[in-house]
Chains A and B, each alone.
Chain A
Amino acid sequence: MVISLQGRILRIALAVVPALMLTAAIPWANRVEPRVLGLPFLLAWIVLWVLLCPVFLYAIYRIEGRRL
């Protein structure tokens, strides 16, 4: 299976985004306000990226030309 160079770069970029949001962005997200659905902001931030991760992985899966 051949993936174009752009496809390969995009694939890595998509994989790195949730990982960075859950590590490098933590100092920024480390706050209580604003509360999201009652959750303190830090917890809401982490939950958001946990939920978005499957979306990113699915996008990578499609770029690789695979079907579910």
Chain B
Amino acid sequence: MALGIIAVVILGTIGFALRSIRHIDVDPRQFMVGGRSFGALFLWILLAGEVYTSFTFQGAAGWAYGKGAPAFYILAYGTIGYTIGYFFLPSVWRIGKERGLLTAPDFFADRYDSRALGVGIGILQFFMIVPYVTLQLKGLQILLSIAGYGTLDSYFAVCVAFLLIAGFVLTAGLRGTAWASLVKDVLILCAVIFAGIAIPMKFFGSPAAMFDQLLRAHPHWATLAPGTAPNGIVWFISTVALTSIGFYMGPHAIAATYSARDENAIRRNAIFLPIYQLVLLLVMFAGFAALLIVPGLNDPDQSFLVVIQRYYPPWIMGFIGSAAALAALIPASALLLSAASVVSKNVLSDGFGLAKSDAGRMLATRVGVIVIAIFALVMWLEYKSTLVELLLLYYNGVTQFMPGFVFGLIWRRVSALAVTVGIAAGLILAIWFSVQNINPWGLNPGIPALLLNVALTVGITLIAPRRRALQP
């Protein structure tokens, strides 16, 4: 029954999305940046739709359940990310409009006058999106396993999740995604209020009483470990810094920015989006409640979904499950679509002269979607980590693009070489730290990598001879 409700909601949402895009020509500009016509409200919904994902819904609860206070970083980083976006995105948008850019690699290729750099950034973005898609895939798999009340094993569930995501993204483009986000947001809001307020009230009387009990059972759960301890204060601050700097560096966020109608739509968005973070607070309430009600789960990301499965009727499971399913599907489709568009445009078409026609590019985009989804599936099989760890891995990568973006906007002298060396060195260090599982000085490993990146970019720019005057 729960699965039936989820199926009906997903099919209904796809139908709704298809209906709303039926009358619009499906050319690449529409498909990728929505014709640059989105106003503040629509943009708000779209960005929120992509920023609030399975990670929000299950990952934040999972860390509240499994780690406690380190999960609070999730509230902080988005807020700072929006502040950075307020200052940073209007320039990105303006240049995008003036120069007719569609993707982040377009920006690099255009600003640094290097097609090779554009191709390189395109390929990197393609791979970096994989953990973020794996996150959605895992979120959906957990959900289907729980909503199936033990009738589906996890491998079967992940295959269903994979097919759902691929099917969803291939039937609706960015505009379809934005409309579907509207449905999703309403559902999620109801589900989160239920999980964050109704569950603590039923079991403890109130969220405040839940915290009383939580602090009695786990006195250190709501504070950070001191200094350089794992997930301690140093880790917390450096993670907030890293993830807020990289907040808009995903291909999906840049595509959403380019889809804005004007600069002020972006600024107004940045002002109001932090309010959305409150959703995360409620999700963490649900995670804490789950820790007290169903302790000792193998996978902390299951947290409050298990509470609902065990203590509530199946129709509520179906309703919450539908919200969680859309929280995975819609962001996954935006991520896949934007990363695949980048590959078809910047790598195949601009880089190698393939897939030049609109039809060819659409085909390449669709193939790209399938390829990333397959990578994500492989990563799910090979790399068992929590939803939050997957997101942090993604941020270690994408944040390395930020120096190239910011210097590109404010410092004329910076060259393609300086940016390329900076990004390459930053990524190599970040990957090395991740593989060795080292947190130097208790820091999030992305931060030293970012500092190395900035230092090299600045250093090479300063020692390089001033660029020749541009050819006429």
Contact = CB atoms under 8 A, between A and B. Distances in A.
Interface in B197-239: 206-209, 211-212, 215, 219, 222-224, 226, 233, 236-237
B75 to A, nearest CB: 5
B86 A50 contact: no
A18 B270 contact: no
Contacts of B268: 61, 68
A24 B270 CA distance: 22
A54 B271 contact: yes
B143 to A, nearest CB: 26
Interface stretch (B107-115, B116-124, B159-167, B275-283): B275-283
B69 interface: yes
A30 B209 contact: no
A15 B208 contact: no
B240 A61 contact: no
A23 to B, nearest CB: 5
B211 A38 contact: yes
Contacts of B460: none
Contacts of A68: 268
Contact of B267 (A15, A37, A56, A61): A61
B76 A46 contact: yes
Contact of A61 (B76, B215, B241, B271): B271
Contact of B215 (A15, A27, A32): A32
A27 B85 CA distance: 26
A50 B75 contact: yes
Interface in B311-368: none
A34 interface: no
A23 B264 contact: no
A7 to B, nearest CB: 14
A39 B211 contact: yes
Nearest to A68: B268
Contact of B272 (A27, A40, A51, A54): A54
Interface residues of B, number: 40
A26 B73 CA distance: 10
B35 interface: no
Given A24-B237, A53-B274, A30 B224 contact: yes
A36 to B, nearest CB: 10
B20 interface: no
A31 to B, nearest CB: 6
Contacts of B82: 53, 57
A18 B222 contact: no
Nearest to A60: B86
B87 interface: yes
Given A18-B83, A38-B206, A60-B86, A66 B76 contact: no
A38 B277 CA distance: 19
Given A22-B80, A60-B86, A40 B215 contact: yes
B420 interface: no
A42 B360 CA distance: 53
B76 A57 contact: no
Contact of A66 (B207, B215, B233, B267): B267
A68 B82 CA distance: 17
B212 to A, nearest CB: 8
A57 B89 CA distance: 14
Nearest to A49: B79
A18 to B, nearest CB: 7
B79 A53 contact: yes
A3 B75 CA distance: 32
A31 B233 CA distance: 12
Contact of A27 (B69, B75, B233, B278): B233
Nearest to B273: A54
A47 interface: yes
Contacts of B79: 18, 22, 49-50, 53
B241 A23 contact: yes
Interface in B122-155: none
Interface string B229-262: 0000100110011001000000000000000000
B38 interface: no
A30 B244 CA distance: 20
10 contacts: A18-B80, A18-B83, A22-B240, A23-B76, A40-B215, A42-B69, A47-B278, A51-B274, A53-B82, A54-B275
Interface of A: 15, 18-19, 22-24, 26-27, 30-32, 35, 37-40, 42-43, 46-47, 49-51, 53-54, 56-58, 60-61, 66, 68
Given A32-B222, A43-B72, A50-B274, 12 more contacts: A19-B80, A19-B244, A30-B223, A35-B208, A38-B209, A42-B224, A51-B274, A53-B82, A54-B275, A57-B83, A61-B267, A61-B271
Top 6 A-B pairs ranked by shortest CB distance? Answer: A38-B208, A40-B222, A22-B76, A57-B271, A53-B274, A50-B79
